[in-house]
Structure 1
Amino acid sequence: MNAHPNESQTQLPLAGRHAVVTGANGGIGEAICHELARHGAIVTLLGLDRAGLEATRDRLPGRDHGIAVADITDHAAVAGAMAEAAAARGPVTLLVNNAGVAKSAPLVKTDPAQWKLMLDVNLTGTYNCIHAMLPGMIEAGWGRIVNIASTAGLAGYAYVVPYCAAKHGVVGLTRALALEVAKRGITVNAVCPGYTDTPLLAGAVDNIVSKTGRSADEARAELAAGNPQGRLVKPAEVANAVAWLCLPGAEAIHGQSIAVAGGEVM
């Protein structure tokens, strides 16, 4: 793993903090891992693709980062993986629930299996990870939980009803939990990206192309048009918002759902 050549780890604002980032392989997840590591955190990258996680880990600044292979929809697996991560790298006091999945279809063509998948990954997976790591934060008297929701958690979009329902659930979870832990030194917030230039977006583009006959460039332009800035969000911009919520000085930002979407949602 790469050492950061010009900064002493002990001088960085998140030095000594152990962060877990779910869905850490590529896209927004990798950008978040990089940003937290750049500020000194030791990161455990959680996901399903061991090889991909290892490759991402090896690109991070700093040392001692690790991986955890677990399905976030499996409560027991998450608890076990987090116990192992804490034993190896110290108590987890930073949690970023980034893992997610999105599929589109009219509601009448959304079968129960697809509905369940959207809620299991996007909402129950977030609960599973918080449930595993919150007791340690309470014991430490300090913690930062950042849930990656979506502008779909703040507004409605056609043809993604289960995804919107799940992400609205994540926003509600964020607000309710924030009230529970407000006096325990723990902050809980959601970051809500608009359409972001990631591999997940490529799937949406492919879906538009296959169903409408538009070109990939036309499909990307259609998605970007919802952003008043006329562009797709960059993963690094989402990561910057996450890091800010974890850094000293953001203690009063609590129970918020922050849109990173160029003004799409106000």
Structure 2
Amino acid sequence: MWWTWWCAVRWLGRTHALPRLALGEARVLVTGGGGGVGGHLVAEFAARGVAAVVVVDVDGERVARVVEAVGARHPAVRVEGVVMDVTSAEARRGLVAELAEKGLAINVLVNNAGVVAGRRVGSGDGRAEAMVTSLRVNVEAPMALVEALWPQLAGSGEQAQIVNVASTMGLVPAAGLADYCCSKYGLVGFHESLALEVRADGRDGYLGLTLVCPYKINTGMFDGVQLRMPWLLPALEADDVARSIVESVEAREEVVVLPWAVGAMFPVLGLLPRRVWVAVVEWFGGRHGMDNFAPRPDRELPAALRAS
């Protein structure tokens, strides 16, 4: 039940004592920026007048579409696109070199890219490799990108922010989501360890970290998932999530659980015996909620992201 106590403490003290981030001077990089929450993040940052925003995605057509649309709507904002596989070490080195060539020093990194296999262990569906890919995209890539961009984020002493978009499924388990929960639990652990390192190194006066744990988002990623009482906890809209993330970045909030009501539930669950909170999670859909989930052809992983 560690996660419930963690959420209680972190949720009750959400904001770090850092000055508000000056978005007008921000140079933002968003992974998974070609669509879904990522596309809305790019648009929201641009709408708030950042100096520059870099759209990173494995899908070149999506990158081009977002860059064109956001650039046309916000001509005063520099909008750049980078087509890359975030799991590739070579691509990450290329990203650093490309940013240097363009004279862009990133001071806000948003690790937003994510995938889900949505299968049960041992199901024999021929998609076991997709579970490994979830780990590579959802936790390995954010770790590696922070490392690659560390000189830009932490080296100058400029106000900067690292944003890791995890999930409420990084706090509670669910059948059929072993890959996704494992990767998001891992991202939460990486984020919290990094936060301690930042404080230990005396960088917490300028380098902030924001961990975002949203509930189900209406992007198609979890189509078919059935949860009890959807009228009580409806799926979040991508634009609302993006707006909340940008506001949290500007305010330098440390932990954001969306929606607010879900964040408030975790401390309550932490007071319950294990069997009881497991029963609660199962009742809400933790056991059978993924039973009707089936990846559509247009949601299959691009070849570049499949585990080799």
- TM-score, length of structure 1 as denominator length: 0.80
RMSD: 2.1
1:170-181 to structure 2, matched below 5 A, reads 170-181=187-198
Give the deviation of 1:128 after TM superposition: 1.6
2:25 aligned partner: 16
2:30–2:38 contact (8 Å) kept in structure 1: yes
Aligned with residue 93 of structure 2, among 66, 79, 102: 79
Give the deviation of 1:40 after TM superposition: 1.7
Aligned with residue 197 of structure 1, among 199, 213, 218: 218
Query: Hey, what's the Cα distance between the residues in 2 that align with 1:230 and 1:181?
Result: 35
Cα displacement string for residues 218-245 of structure 1 (whole angstroms, at most 9, x for unaligned residues): x6xx34x466734110112211222123
Of 58-67 and 149-158, more deviation after overlay is shown by 58-67
1:68–1:85 contact (8 Å) kept in structure 2: no
1:7 aligned partner: none
SS at structure 1 position matched to 2:23: coil
Query: Hey, what's the Cα distance between the residues in 2 that align with 1:149 and 1:227?
Result: 21
Is 1:229 matched with 2:236? no
Cα displacement string for residues 65-102 of structure 1 (whole angstroms, at most 9, x for unaligned residues): 10111111112211221331243152100000010101
1:228–1:263 contact (8 Å) kept in structure 2: no
- TM-score, length of structure 2 as denominator length: 0.70
Amino acid at match of 1:38: A
SS at structure 1 position matched to 2:102: helix
Cα displacement string for residues 155-214 of structure 1 (whole angstroms, at most 9, x for unaligned residues): 11111101100000001111110111133211112111111111323xx32xxxxxxxxx
Percent identity for Structure 1 against Structure 2: 28
Query: Hey, what's the Cα distance between the residues in 2 that align with 1:113 and 1:84?
Result: 31
SS at structure 1 position matched to 2:107: strand
Give the deviation of 1:139 after TM superposition: 1.4
1:65 aligned partner: 79
What runs of 5+ residues in structure 1 fail to find an aligned partner? 1-11, 206-218
1:213-252 to structure 2, matched below 5 A, reads 222-223=226-227, 225=228, 229-247=232-250, 250-251=251-252
Using a 3 Å threshold, how does the CA distance of structure 1 residues 92 and 192 change in structure 2: closer, same or farther?
same
SS at structure 2 position matched to 1:171: helix
Using a 3 Å threshold, how does the CA distance of structure 1 residues 226 and 75 change in structure 2: closer, same or farther?
farther
Aligned with residue 139 of structure 2, among 123, 142, 151: 123
Amino acid at match of 1:199: G
1:137 aligned partner: 153
Amino acid at match of 1:106: R
2:110–2:164 contact (8 Å) kept in structure 1: yes
Using a 3 Å threshold, how does the CA distance of structure 1 residues 169 and 15 change in structure 2: closer, same or farther?
same
What runs of 5+ residues in structure 2 fail to find an aligned partner? 1-20, 266-308
| Count of residues in Structure 1 that have an aligned counterpart in Structure 2 | 232
1:79–1:129 contact (8 Å) kept in structure 2: no
Identify the structure with bigger relative contact order (alpha carbons < 8 Å, sequence gap 6+): 2
Query: Hey, what's the Cα distance between the residues in 2 that align with 1:118 and 1:51?
Result: 22
Cα displacement string for residues 98-143 of structure 1 (whole angstroms, at most 9, x for unaligned residues): 1010121122227652331111111101112111112211112131
